[in-house]
Amino acid sequence: MKHIPRKRFGQHFLSDPAIIDGIVRAIDPRPGQAVVEIGPGLAALTQPLVERVGQLTVIELDRDLAARLRAHPQLTVIESDVLKVDFAQIQPAPPATKLRVVGNLPYNISTPILFHLLPFAGAVEDQHFMLQKEVIDRMVAAPSTSDYGRLSVMLQWRYAMENVLFVPPEAFDPPPKVDSAVVRMVPRADFAPLDVNALSELVQVAFSQRRKLLRHTLGKWLEARAFSGNFDVQRRAEEVPVAEYLALAQAVARSA
């Protein structure tokens, strides 16, 4: 029976063989690696992946699709909302020591998924995700650009990222109304040790009124915490490099 894409799950299924091949080549999966696929759907990406690695763990919320996937002898199926999955509990089988996470993420919850994965970055070798192109533009954005924001700072703190492949709407069934792309995310070994929630709050405050100078937002937030360190609040949020936000978060934590 043909599966009807469900709008509530944000389902757009990859159907272009050339794009699928391009994604698999970008991931470059090898035998024995511990690959976890989020939202395998109709297995367009799943099959070429499992052919290369031998065994695959997939996370699928749709009950009907999960049932289909269970019939595949080389798949371990986690039927769940990915936002409820504890990735620390997915243990890679030797010789693999870390997870490689891939997926065509549902565009309606792609940002929450990216934030959900942040605390598990230490257990991950790399991540390759298909996302709305404008989201990836924000992820990799440089300071003093219109795309630079909270997502840029939070993810660049923990990952080195690059946009590796453009994907047009016609590569999907049904076609989405937006352009897509594939991002590669490699966890940084030299990241600043920070509490993810504390950094998130600081950056959220900073970008809450991005057209105003930081003295109106972050300046007041720092005053409320009796912060006495040096930080130039006579700038807009988008003018502050990632490294300065990280240094400020560390300084605030030390002075608490």
Q: Residue ranges of the domains in the chain?
A: 7-187, 196-255
- Which residues in 61-72 are b (16+ Cβ under 10 Å) and which e? bbeebbebbeeb
| Predicted pLDDT at 12 | 67
Q: Give the 3-state secondary structure of residue 82.
A: helix
| Predicted pLDDT at 1 | 45
- Is 60 marked within a binding site? yes
Q: State the 10-residue block means of pLDDT for the chain, 256 residues long.
A: 45 85 96 96 93 97 94 96 97 94 91 96 97 96 97 98 96 90 97 94 97 97 95 98 98 91
Q: Give the 3-state secondary structure of residue 182.
A: strand
- Is 14 marked within a binding site? yes
Rounded to two decimals, the pTM is 0.92
**Cβ contact 220:163 at 8 Å:** no
Domain 7-187 architecture: 3-Layer(aba) Sandwich (3.40)
| Predicted pLDDT at 2 | 47
Superfamily covering domain 196-255: rRNA adenine dimethylase, C-terminal domain (1.10.8.100)
CA dihedral 122, 72, 182, 111 (to 10 degrees): -60
Asked if domains 7-187 and 196-255 share a fold, the reply is no
- Is 39 marked within a binding site? yes
| Predicted pLDDT at 6 | 45
| Predicted pLDDT at 256 | 77
